[in-house]
Amino acid sequence: MNQAVIAQNKQAVRRFFEVINEGKLELLRQFMADDVIDHNKIIYGEADEPGAAFDGIRQQLAALHPLHMQVEELVAEDVRVVARITQSGVHSGPHPRMPEPTHRSFRNESMLLFTLEAGKIKEIRGVSDRLGLFLQLGWDWPTVD
């Protein structure tokens, strides 16, 4: 794979996080394909369909404001970029898991795998310290139905 394309993909992922941190969601389409697939539910309840990640990000920002995603490390190969990030924020708005804000803060680590096509994020897969998030925010742990 061309090193220039790999560098361009890393820059697209870095800008993705910057746009989220700046709250400029109208710019997300510069870095995400319209039919992006998010295999990792950002917020419980968003639709599992192409393009639903845009709404998931909006929900997350509304529920955990202020939210900051610090890029700690980016590793890229071919069309994939892995980001290790530290997230921090406050549960200040309604969330599908906990409609009443707790006004508690959190800080946790996540690893996200992005697949890019034509310089835009086409797929997102990730893991996050959700147990730590739930404990810090005072949320009940989900039960199995």
Q: Is residue 98 part of a domain?
A: yes
Query: What pLDDT, on a 0 to 100 scale, did the predictor assign at position 53?
Result: 87
Number of structural domains (the chain) is 1
Does some domain include residue 71?
A: yes
Confidence band for 45, pLDDT divided at 50, 70 and 90: low
Give the predicted TM-score (pTM) of the model: 0.91
| Other CB atoms within 10 Å distance of the CB of residue 139 | 17
Query: For the domain that residue 49 is a member of, what is the CATH number?
Result: 3.10.450.50
Question: Could you tell me the CA-to-CA distances from 98 to 10, 31, 35, 44, 105 in Å, in that order?
Answer: 34, 30, 28, 10, 14
Q: How does residue 44 score in pLDDT terms, banded at 50, 70 and 90?
A: low
Q: Could you tell me the residue range of the domain that residue 129 belongs to?
A: 3-137
Average of per-residue pLDDT values in the chain: 91
Say what percent of the chain tops pLDDT 90: 72
